[in-house]
Amino acid sequence: MESKRSSFSGKIGFVLAAAGSAVGLGNIWRFPYLAAKYGGGIFLLVYVALSVTFGFSLMVAEIAIGRKTGKSAVTAFGELDKRFSLVGLVASLVPMLILPYYSVIGGWVLKYFAGVVSGSASAMASDTYFGDYIGKVGEPLLWFALFIGVTAIVVLFGVEKGIEKVSKIMMPVLVALTLFIALYTIFTVDGAWEGVKYYLLPDFSKFSIMTVVSAMGQLFYSMSLAMGIMITYGSYIKKEISIEKSAKQIEIFDTGVAFLAGLMIIPAVFAFSGGDESALAQGPGLMFVTLPKVFEAMPGGTVIGAIFFFMVILAALTSSISLMETIVSIFMDKFKIGRRASCFIVLGLSVLLGVPSSLGYSLWSEFKIMGMQMLDLFDFLSNSLMMPIIAFITCVFVGFVLKPKTIIDEVTIDNKFKWQKLFSAVIRYVAPVCILAILVSSILSAFGIIKI
Ligand code: PHE
């Protein structure tokens, strides 16, 4: 099988496919609520700084490892050095932790789309709608089942190509729409400018270690890094494609979408809550509470809201498909089973982990581990624990075992590598030291040993 790996046809094909995986709920749902919660402008600044250094270096390293070995993450590490085989396996497990709760959120988006289309837009704009909705037992489970079901069907029948084509056309529409909604709120709703200031002007007094911890976790999540995905994508690209340029393009696009999503949501939070701090800190519900109010205030808001939620569904689906596809192909390889069996196992596991994530807001809201309900726990385990560990080992592996030169040689087969000095320095020293510091503080805080 390995020898028959297909390649992406053109340069842009790879970038678009990787961007399809990268741009998803991470950008539109997760980034804005973290930016709102962890200091606005200062979060944005830290995020962008990390993205051009860490994000860039790790992305280049992963794509290069994939292209060099022609293997997916599970085997790529072992092929380069036997002692590191386990990293690939652990990295590949991260998508299995993310997919279930990702699909719960995907289900929320489906519900909101259905709500706007079926004429409940005004009801959805009320403060309590979202809380009441996720507090229900059955309905969120149904929408979750629909989301994961559609994802599984696409993966089972291998019709990703079709979805990808549609999403390529939709992606620019999503970007344009996000910008339009942002500008509409900023220029027409009172109080929105305060939010623009909060989001764009860094306030250094709001800086805390949590700003960096959350920005770094978000970076991995949003760019599909530290979970083997970019290694797998890298294994499909041809030698003449510039890894450096591709990494930059994927990053710029991904960060651009996240930036616009923040610009759409944060000023709206200010406008509709009068800059109330607790509204900014509300977490995962932020987009769902805020956007319906924007659509309510906008002429033609129902139509725009429907189109918007539909685009978000597509962006979320391309990401969930990429998550599921990764796990399915790993199970196929590892357990020597067929696609169908693998699909059913992954679907079963996703339901098993997704149901408690959904019920964590209703029936099981009392049940907490380390102070977190299940959805937050899966999010924490994958983003704040496993991904930093994998990123750390990847940096040490590339920096000291493989040596940056191996990656640089791979990148420069047919192209220049302009930022190679930055790459070497970041991957060897800056990244491992920072990641370790962050990891330790997030573990200590999770166990309540320090408060950050
Ligand atoms: N990057 C995706 C997002 O921002 C999530 C994702 C992670 C998708 C890993 C695929 C693989 O929504």
Q: Give tens-digit pLDDT for 143-189.
A: 999 999 999 998 888 766 766 677 777 888 889 999 999 999 899 88
Does 2 have pLDDT greater than 50?
Answer: no
* Dist. CA 29 → ligand 1 center (Å): 12
> Does ligand 1 lie within 6 Å of residue 354's CB atom?
no
Mean local confidence (pLDDT), 335-354: 93
Does 274 have pLDDT greater than 80?
Answer: no
Q: Which of 27, 105, 221 to mutate to test the pocket of ligand 1 (most atoms within 8 A of CB)?
A: 221
Q: Give tens-digit pLDDT for 140-156.
A: 999 999 999 999 998 88
d(CA 29, CA 34): 9
Q: Is 7 helix (H, G, I), strand (E, B) or coil?
A: coil
* Dist. CA 320 → ligand 1 center (Å): 7
Size of the chain, expressed as the number of residues it contains: 452
Tell me what pLDDT residue 427 has.
93
Tell me what pLDDT residue 334 has.
81
Cα dihedral 399, 400, 401, 402 in deg (nearest 10): 40
Mean pLDDT of the chain: 88
List Cβ<8 Å contacts ≥24 apart for 79-84: 80/397, 80/402, 81/397, 81/401, 81/402, 84/393, 84/397, 84/401
Q: Give tens-digit pLDDT for 394-436.
A: 999 999 998 999 999 998 998 888 898 999 999 999 899 888 8
Q: ∠ at Cα 356 (351, 362), nearest 5°?
A: 130
Mean local confidence (pLDDT), 228-232: 87
Does 115 have pLDDT greater than 80?
Answer: yes
* Dist. CA 151 → ligand 1 center (Å): 14
Banded pLDDT at 452 (limits 50, 70, 90): low
> Does ligand 1 lie within 6 Å of residue 25's CB atom?
yes
Does 3 have pLDDT greater than 60?
Answer: no
> Does ligand 1 lie within 6 Å of residue 229's CB atom?
yes
Q: Cβ(334)–Cβ(351) under 8 Å?
A: no
Tell me what pLDDT residue 72 has.
81
Look up the pTM and report it.
Answer: 0.90
Q: Is 392 helix (H, G, I), strand (E, B) or coil?
A: helix
The amino acid that residue 155 corresponds to is V
Does 448 have pLDDT greater than 50?
Answer: yes
